[in-house]
Chains A and B, each alone.
Chain A
Amino acid sequence: MRLPRPRPKLDQENSAFWTGGAEGKLRIVRCGDCGNYTHPPRILCRHCQSENVSAEPVAGTGVIDTFTVNHQPWAKDLPVPYVIARVALDGVPGVYLTTNIVNCPVEAVGFGDPVRVVFEEQDGVFYPLFEKAD
């Protein structure tokens, strides 16, 4: 059995991000006026302060900007080691996601590796994790 992940409290700002996986979509807030992205999600555009924003599907691919192999069990029964990575999303300039790289040994993860999103569902929340794309 997998240890349940800490669950984000869903609200107006973040629901589209945490539930987009139900449709297989990674959704990031985008401005309908200037076209720039805002993450973490907000109810306004952090670039032009427009309120004309909505969470739009993005490609769901990216590259590993940096990562760490975590060995410390921060919770009881948490399996270690695992990879925590910062992924730079393709087509979404300036937006990074902290996530886990899954479905490969920790030794196989490297800087600049192309990755794609896979969702892990837990009680209606879809956690965007990433696996190697090549």
Chain B
Amino acid sequence: MAREAYITGVGQSEVGVRLPRHPLLLTLDAAKEAIAEAGLTFEQIDGVFSFPGKSHGYLAFSPVGTDEVIEALGIKSKWQMGGLEQPAQLSAIGMAAWAVKEGICRHVLCYRTVYEAGGMADPATYMPARPDTVSGASQWTSPFWATSAACWTAQYAARHVHKYGLTREQLGQIAINGSKNAMLNPNARAITKEELTLDKYMSARMISTPLCLYDCDRFSDASTVVIVSAGDALDEIRCEPIRIAAMSGSVDRYSWDQVEWPAAYDAGPDLWARTDYTAADVDTAQFYDGFAFLPITWLEALGFCGKGEGGRFIEGGTRIARDGELPLNTAGGQLGAGRLHGFGFAHEAVTQLRGKAGARQIPGDPRVAVATSGGGPLAAALLLAKD
């Protein structure tokens, strides 16, 4: 127990578009909910981890730093961490798990706060769409007007279309499933107002083939908080702890165009190598869907189907529906519930395992969930279990 890590509290602020509430206050809202759920107080939190912490050049992308959270919430922290140089968003939770397993911290507050919808309305706080001078990784894409990750992801998706016959009708099921589930998620009301139909999907304007408008997630303003606690600190909490049964990450080359396959294909098998659970044990999957193609890579990478078979797996949408064999993105995912940037998937996995998902709760008694984040050259996955 002492060497185990558990998620004990999850919380989420209002999710909106151009919310007037300051991002630090959104973080406070989510933190209060998570702390209360765990049955803790801010005085008991002794670590604050985030992906990526404050991004000064891109304030709307990540407007709240761990320093600010520690100070504003009155936390006495032993360890803090924020940074982009991690294998995808959920790695902040993975790092927190390490910290509690090492005995450095007992209860770590992990958060991801986004203000991109608000930021888009105020270009001064958001990255310019077309920077005149580019450096670092973006110099290899932006000069060719491959400005967005949509263009980079689209190239992997197009190869799937070419090589394995992925169709738009199949791909559309990710967004349609997300919208159906979002309709039952109170936190998604600002993002999804009606179910997406296949007709509407098929007639949507193209962004970067084969990705259309509905294959791209929706900018939002929100904060999501996950509390990670040490196994030997569970006597301090008042909630049902969810164990982090395994975690995996992968970064080989950071260059989007130099990797043969998205990093998910490495992180997937690695997750199963660290646990006795198998894909067959998973009751619900929460797969990063910044773009609709990415859940397909995770389905294949984690062995829910063979490589190249993701399109056929999701065809018709029945297998990934709430009452299907692998309920997928039950809160709506980022396509349906907003671009919470990874943390929404851990939040929903815990909510489902606790049976607290309300109208969107999946049937039975779910005991194992997988949550993932990342695309292209970076990936992270968490396997969560109710013991």
Contacts and interface: CB of A to CB of B under 8 A. Distances in A.
Contacts of B206: 69, 71-72, 81
A94 B253 CA distance: 12
B157 to A, nearest CB: 8
Contacts of A44: none
Contact of A68 (B137, B151, B258): B151
Interface in A53-74: 65-72, 74
Mostly, the B contact residues are mixed
Given A84-B145, A98-B257, A71 B130 contact: no
B159 interface: yes
B147 A74 contact: yes
Category for how many chain B residues contact A? 35 or more
A100 interface: yes
Nearest to A72: B207
Given A7-B134, A66-B162, A86-B155, A98 B141 contact: yes
Contact of A67 (B132, B140, B148, B155): B155
Interface residues of A, number: 37
Interface string A91-106: 0001111111000000
B125 interface: no
Contacts of A5: 143-145
Interface in B117-158: 129-135, 137-148, 150-152, 154-158
B170 interface: no
B209 interface: yes
B126 to A, nearest CB: 14
Nearest to A7: B133
B329 to A, nearest CB: 24
A80 to B, nearest CB: 9
A98 B208 contact: no
Nearest to B147: A74
Nearest to A5: B143
B155 A8 contact: no
Nearest to A65: B159
A68 B133 contact: no
B255 interface: yes
Interface in B148-201: 148, 150-152, 154-159, 162
27 contacts: A5-B143, A5-B145, A6-B130, A6-B133, A8-B133, A8-B134, A8-B135, A9-B135, A9-B139, A11-B135, A40-B140, A66-B156, A66-B159, A68-B210, A68-B211, A69-B206, A70-B208, A70-B209, A74-B129, A74-B147, A84-B144, A84-B145, A86-B257, A95-B258, A98-B256, A98-B257, A100-B145
For the complex of A and B, 6 pairs with smallest distance between CB atoms = A74-B147, A75-B130, A68-B154, A8-B139, A66-B159, A9-B135
Interface of B: 129-135, 137-148, 150-152, 154-159, 162, 205-211, 255-258
Given A68-B154, A74-B145, A84-B154, 18 more contacts: A5-B145, A6-B131, A7-B143, A8-B133, A11-B135, A40-B137, A65-B159, A66-B156, A67-B155, A70-B154, A70-B208, A71-B207, A72-B150, A74-B130, A75-B147, A78-B145, A84-B155, A100-B145
